[in-house]
Structure 1
Amino acid sequence: MNNISFTFPSSPILSSYNSYKSHGGYCDKDNLPANCLGNDDNATFTPYCECTQVVVLQQNDIVQMTLIDNVGISSLNHPIHLHGFSFYVMHIHQNLTRDQMFTVSEVEEFLSTWEFEESDEASSTNMTVPPLKDTISVPSNGFVIVRFKADNPGSWLMHCHFEWHMSVGMMMVFKVEGTVSSRPPGFPECGNFDLLDESTAAA
């Protein structure tokens, strides 16, 4: 998501966000590690980018997301699920007449006009009573526009429900600021388990 493959942190985000962040453990599209620099949203191929993507929101922010299929595999839709919230489905759009994927620039142009020729596209917009869901199928060669109110403080995962897509990082976290229950005294932050090296194992 955002050309970033998600990797899990060594400690739970909910209980150790600040300490992990102080070591540069998190990223977002504006704060990328060196291996991610140079990614182009409109490029056919981008360098592999891997980090723990966390987008910080303020409580009660209104969030609009555009979820774009940039895989281009015919008939492969992505079931995207958001924990912690339900979202309004504002628009679903699928290109039925060409093989090329939508680029970010094309979707941005669409957002500025919010209209396509119905004769060329499969399109559906509901601005009056949009359906409320927590999972949406992003169509192949298409995109979905959703909105939600960030009124539930905490750290919430958004991911594709195909397990093999999750395993390669098709997920991200929204961290909503606000009052969250304090961590119990002495609650461990955990961390990565380091395997014994050969010298230690021999001893």
Structure 2
Amino acid sequence: MVFLNLGRGKGWSHPVHLHGHSFYVLKMGYADYNSTTGNHIRDNADVNCLGDEQLNFCNDAEWSDSSWIGDNIPGLNLVNPPRKDTIIVPTGGYAVVRIKANNPGSWFMHCHIELHNMDGMAMFFDEAPEKHPESPKNFPKCNNFLFDQTNEGEEESTESTEGEINGAQIPVKESAYTLGIFWGVVGALLGIILLQFVTIFCLFMRQKSSTV
């Protein structure tokens, strides 16, 4: 895999993390920086971002040297590449990495700067879907965050009513609502009683101190 930090997306060095795996870093390509201030001067020349640099995010990139196409990238460390949990892709540059695809599952890959993650700098790796382990029983699915705790074979002993979530009819137990309302009322009454007790106690102590 080649991670690019070029075009309009550059400006930060992005720490990229992939769950369930480690990166083997084969090569790093850096931009030209000012040796005194560290400021970015120009992007790495190994990659050609097609189109207007000011308008694109370098999504249509190619190697500047066409002989690099087809895994012919020079300078790859294939003997003892460092293994990293998170790889920092330098601004104006790139990183060439490999992973060992030996852990089937849907794995989240994202920038570890939370703002970038929330803005969409993230994706899923769907690795060997035919080998995914089975989901646990009653595991929540997309658009359904309800968990049915009814044991298998156990009959429902309470009446249910129908609710609607995202257009789907969802059974809702009336007893759960009734119990929730009951304890809510009890809690409110206890709070009122406690408040009255504190008020009376404060008045008593105030009167006692004034008579001393």
Q: TM-score, normalised by structure 1?
A: 0.52
CA distance in 1, matches of 2:13, 2:122: 15
Partner SS state of residue 131, structure 2: coil
What's 1:128 paired with? Answer: 79
Partner SS state of residue 68, structure 2: helix
Summarize deviations over 1:99-131 as a string: whole Å, max 9, x none: 35742123674733535xxxxxxxx75232001
What's 1:111 paired with? Answer: 68
What's 1:138 paired with? Answer: 89
Structure with higher RCO (Cα < 8 A, 6+ apart): 1
Letter in 2 for 1:106: W
Q: Of residues 102, 105, 116 in structure 2, which corresponds to 1:165?
A: 116
Structure with the largest fraction of helix = 2
CA distance in 1, matches of 2:20, 2:110: 12
Partner SS state of residue 67, structure 1: strand
Aligned residues: 122
Change (3 A) 1:188 1:138: closer
5 Å-filtered alignment, 1:43-192, equals 65-70=1-6, 71-73=9-11, 76-96=12-32, 98-100=41-43, 102=47, 103=49, 104-106=61-63, 109=66, 111-112=68-69, 114-115=73-74, 125-177=76-128, 178-191=130-143
Change (3 A) 1:174 1:95: same
CA distance in 2, matches of 1:110, 1:166: 34
CA distance in 2, matches of 1:110, 1:143: 18
- CA-based RMSD: 2.9
Displacement of 1:78 after TM fit?
0.4
Whether contact under 8 Å (2:32, 2:43) holds in the other structure is no
Displacement of 1:149 after TM fit?
1.8
What's 2:157 paired with? Answer: none
Whose radius of gyration is greater, 1 or 2? 2
5 Å-filtered alignment, 1:3-18, equals none
Gaps of 5+ in 1: 1-64, 116-123, 196-203
Percent of aligned positions with the same letter in both sequences?
Answer: 38
Whether contact under 8 Å (2:20, 2:103) holds in the other structure is yes
Q: TM-score, normalised by structure 2?
A: 0.50
Partner SS state of residue 80, structure 2: coil
Change (3 A) 1:185 1:100: closer
Change (3 A) 1:99 1:150: same
